[in-house]
Amino acid sequence: MAAAPGRRLPAALLCAALCLGAALAVDRSNFKTCEQSGFCRRQRGLSPGQSPYRALLESLQLGPDAARIQLINEATKVPLLLELWGLQGNMTRIRIKELNPLRPRFEVPDVLVAEPPVERLAVTGRDEGSLELSLGPAGHRLLVTEKPFRMDLLQGRELLCSVNARGLLFFEHLRQRRDSDTPREPTAEEGAAAEGQDEAAGGAEEAGDQSEKPTETTAEAAEEPGSWEETFKTHTDTKPNGPTSVGLDFSLPGFEHVYGIPEHAESLRLRTTEGGDPYRLYNLDVFQYELYNPMALYGSVPLLLAHSARRTLGIFWLNAAETWVDISSNTAGKTLFGKLLDYMQGGGETPQTDVRWMSESGIIDVFLLLGPAPAAVMGQYAALTGTQALPPLFALGYHQSRWNYNDEEDVAAVEKGFEEHAVPCDVLWLDIEHADGKRYFTWDPSKFPRPRAMLEQLAAKKRKMVSIVDPHIKVDSGYRVHAELRSRGFYVKTKDGSDYEGWCWPGSAAYPDFTNPEMRAWWASMFAYDQYEGSTETLFTWNDMNEPSVFSGPEVTMHKDAVHYGGWEHRDVHNLYGLYVQMATAEGQIQRSGGQHRPFVLSRAFFAGSQRYGAVWTGDNTAEWEHLKISIPMCLSFGLAGLAFCGADVGGFFKNPDAELLVRWYQAGALQPFFRAHAHMDTARREPWLFGEDNVALIRGAVRLRYALLPFWYTAFYHSHRHGLPIMRPLWMEYPEDTTTFAIDDQYLIDRALLVHPVTEQGARGVQVYLPGKGEVWYDTVSYQKHHAPQMLYVPVTMSSGPMFQRGGTVVPRQERVRRSTECMQGDPFTLYVALSPQGTAEGDLFLDDGKSFDYETKARFLHRQFTFAGNTLTARYPPPP
């Protein structure tokens, strides 16, 4: 939840929470534009086509795993080290860093699941001013041009991607401040890291350092104001390391459609940013976010996908600092070097998209995911950052939340309401008011005096609970959690070495340093039953405000010059913070069960790799039709970035939905991977039975459909866990050559078998549904009417209906005996819905296990059956190994 009006806070805290006022609208003045972000302004000020960088091709060192070439900035004479890898699985890695930095630069840890296996490189061509490398058996070649430095990646005669073709490589090297004779000394940890970097660069230097040493130049002397200190509103960011930003451009010939880089409240297909701000990736607590805006939101995944009818590719920019992404669209026809024209297919004018990445600090570390099919790109990204964690089965049921259920009696009454009105529900949630004075890992002694008994009563009804545990810790010497964090030195520090403090919900709060592995281990230990008093195995966790949110900080977050473990500044690690919170929390739930049970953790902030630890949602939305509509492309974008377990607050967090909007939101939410209703404390109560019998019947129908489809959902999650594919996927993923699908984001596929088009327009009497697939058929899941594809179909709707079609040639498992919760349905019979292809065949599968443990993985205790219908006969067998 964001800082919000109407929250019962002290006057000082209300002011510290940015005096947001009564209007429900984002205050844009609290958040930077590119022009107000010094490094973004500097980078955008560069003119294309004037690159100062030259590749010293004679410095090439070709090892068994990588090629290393020095680059020189001919204006500053600062040498860089270019490292190139051809990776197994059709990927290429490009890394650029300083050859001899004054101190180490941050390189993102803990995101890659392992160092990716490499292909053997070879030099396949040389001439004056260029070098060609073979990147492996897939036929990819990299042409490196000396001056101006540029790289072109080809497969056969096809140019896939050009790097620095526009000459926008930008690398602000570490330097001494001109008004200081003594540079900051590196910490011990930085010194150790520097030794590792020196070793990596050593080979290139041994091959002959052809560069000159850094010198004072007119270009450096003319550093603009803000390079070493920058002020935004009342906050000043000191920059002890000076300007350290990096940037690089990529040209994608043949591509007009690009997607990804969540989180933005944006259409699925990304717009060009010419004439406006770039898309920003910087995890922020944005109150009442606007739609169709490139402003940063709660999470960041620096993965962009490009798709055409011929192929799909991805760019994964591994940098955790504040990042801006510019997108421009051109017609190709650009002059290429003569040797490139030989590779081009026919020359001529083709569409082209140019993408430019700009990050405040760190190094350039980028992976090119070369597909060529959409599923292959998803698999390549999953091989790097991991797949969606397989959640416990209950987490796929319906979740009921509110800020806040008042006390144990309120919880009991809400649970009883679901029972009395026959609406299935698996989980009840408690927000920040459940804790004792917002001291997390505690319970309010007057409102929740018997938490264990409350949890046991829910468990007797086969239901669970989620409580919130946020990463801002109340500064109170009598609070055990705070006292131990302080005594162990586990808090983030200020630039002066004291514990960093800011304002958040408890008042004055300190922030655990989740980048510290020892701190994460301690945090995980706090979920043990003897540490988190009153908790049981049926209590799970919600991590909110973990951007981190600091009401009194710049842009409602932590100061960039705060210091983390290893001496790294917050500016280096900012977008990793939320991932580390969710990681430590998930590990705590696993440890408390002795490693037996799978965790459930919902996180608001995220980064690449967060999918390994749980679920995410779209944040503090609003009870408006446009917010219902935007939840679809937002979750589709999340899925394309690996975050398959996504949903939006059903009904909208802010404001009060009318009955029609609420019913339509339940119908849409029931068909998204994470299904939770949630609401602001100042909204009217909106449990499903409070809107009259007609509407509760409609909501009951939507929730019961969700539960009937649980076997299909669970199997889809298993597919995602094994192969990295999104569960909720855009049509073009399954129909990559159908250009009609490329911009569709109001309908989608669940796995590959069900096509849904939620009703998101007020008063709708019908919707237009596109049925893709030449020669395929689709079946209405209510009337079973068959429709031939491809076609645009007008589907009449009533308040009880929303278009859903099953793809011909698929088998969808269901459980028609719907009960109060998922646990109650285990052991119930299954019904297979067989939708025949025009050839009279169908295929599908079903995955089952105990729904809670890791036994499916560690002990192979699961049932996985492949169903095939052919020749009027249905057969079941073990599926072939992947």
Catalytic annotation, residues = 544, 620
CA separation, residue 66 to residues 198, 370, 417 (Å) = 16, 18, 63
3-state secondary structure of 324: strand
Token look-up 């397989």 returns: 390
Task: Count Cβ atoms below 10 Å from residue 206 Cβ, excluding itself.
Answer: 9
What are phi and psi for residue 95, nearest 5 degrees?
-130, 135
End-to-end CA distance of the chain: 41
The angle that helices 517-525 and 577-592 make with each other, rounded to 10 degrees, is 40
Q: How many CA atoms lie within 13 A of 424 on its CB side?
A: 28
Alpha carbons 23 and 536: distance in angstroms, whole number: 41
Residue entry with tokens 């939340």: 401
Q: What strands, in cross-sheet order, belong to the sheet with 257-260?
A: 53-62, 67-73, 79-87, 91-98, 364-369, 312-317, 303-307, 257-260
Cα separation, 528 vs 591, in Å, equals: 7
C-alpha pair distances (Å), 76 with each of 170, 215, 240, 245, 750? 12, 6, 21, 15, 53
Q: Are strands 831-835 and 427-430 parallel, antiparallel or unpaired?
A: unpaired
Q: Is the dihedral of CA 52, 58, 59, 61 positive or negative?
A: positive
Cα separation of 789 and 793, whole Å? 10
**Inter-residue contact 313 to 377 (CB < 8 Å):** yes
For residue 664, count other CB atoms closer than 10 A to its CB.
24
Residue 762 in tokens: 């007020």
The C-alpha angle with vertex 488 and arms to 484 and 493, in degrees rounded to 5, equals 105
Short-list 400, 459, 396, CA closest to 815: 396
Give the residue among 28, 13, 476 at the shortest CA–CA distance from 295.
Answer: 28
Q: What are phi and psi of 738, to 5 degrees?
A: -90, 100
Please give the distance of CA 738 from its chain centroid, rounded to a whole number: 27
Q: How far is CA 362 from the centre of its chain?
A: 20
Q: How many residues does the chain have?
A: 882
Beta strands in 423-580, from DSSP E residues, in sequence order = 427-430, 464-468, 473-474, 501-504, 507-510, 539-543
- Give me the residue label for tokens 């919902």: 602
CA angle 879, 396, 637 (to 5 degrees): 85
Cα(712)–Cα(720) distance, integer angstroms: 12
Q: Determine phi and psi for 248, rounding to 5 degrees.
A: -160, 145
408 three-state secondary structure: helix
Evaluate whether 717 touches 390 at the Cβ level (below 8 Å). Answer: yes
Which two structure tokens, joined as six digits, stand for 536? 């049981």
Tokens standing for 504? 């958040």
Taking alpha carbons only, the member of 744, 754, 741 closest to residue 782 is 754
- Cite the beta strand spans of 707-828 per DSSP E: 728-729, 748-750, 754-756, 766-771, 777-780, 786-788, 791-796, 804-807, 810-814
Let me know: does 476 contact 509? Beta carbons within 8 Å: no
